Amino acid sequence: HITIDLSGVKKDADCFLNNKRQTIEEFKDLKAKGVSTIIDVTNRGMGRSTEYVSEVIKETGINILQATGYYKEPFLPEEVYKISEKEMAKLLVDEIVNGIDGTQVKAAVIGEIGTSLNKIEEMEKKVFEASCRAHSETGAPIITHTTLGKLGLEQIEIFKEFNVDLSNVTLSHIDLS
């Protein structure tokens, strides 16, 4: 994550990553070591900021691919509960095809979509299904979050239901279980 804000839900100010100066210094170091591209999986409801990321890109020369999608319970924004799965898929497609939040910055990946520890919650499943639909329409890769490495196989089952090409899916944090 380039910047992320989970502080409200966690009630912990330390869960707000927003030190742009330090990020720029670290990314300049990465660039000097040969890193040319980074994928930022901060998405809707996680404090995603195209402006912040654009400034880091400008100052460092590193290509940063941004994401669309929704994280997991309890970090899902209110809109997840209000819109249908198909409306959500349309919104994700729009951020990939037209740009994020009315900008010209297009999302390159769908992620980091996640599941809870031992159960895929109803809204998480809705996010996964909408993400599968958006992937089918755009071909954008999907990056997931597993909580402590749990439910990766269950995530794969959802992708299979929607005929998602698993070579376009990355399961994250599976080493934690």
Taking only the tens place, the pLDDT of each residue in 36-47 is 999 999 999 999
Taking only the tens place, the pLDDT of each residue in 7-52 is 989 999 989 989 999 999 999 999 999 999 999 999 999 999 999 9
* Mean pLDDT value of segment 164-170: 98
Q: What phi and psi values does residue 18 have, to the nearest 5 degrees?
A: -150, 30
Indicate which CATH number applies to the domain containing 24.
3.20.20.140
Counting the structural domains of the chain, the total is 1
The more confident residue out of 176 and 15 is: 15
Q: What is the pLDDT of residue 176?
A: 82
Q: Identify the domain containing residue 36 by its residue range.
A: 4-176
Q: What is the pLDDT of residue 175?
A: 86
- Name the band, by pLDDT with cuts 50, 70 and 90, for residue 123: very high
CA atoms in the 13 A half-sphere facing the CB of 58? 8
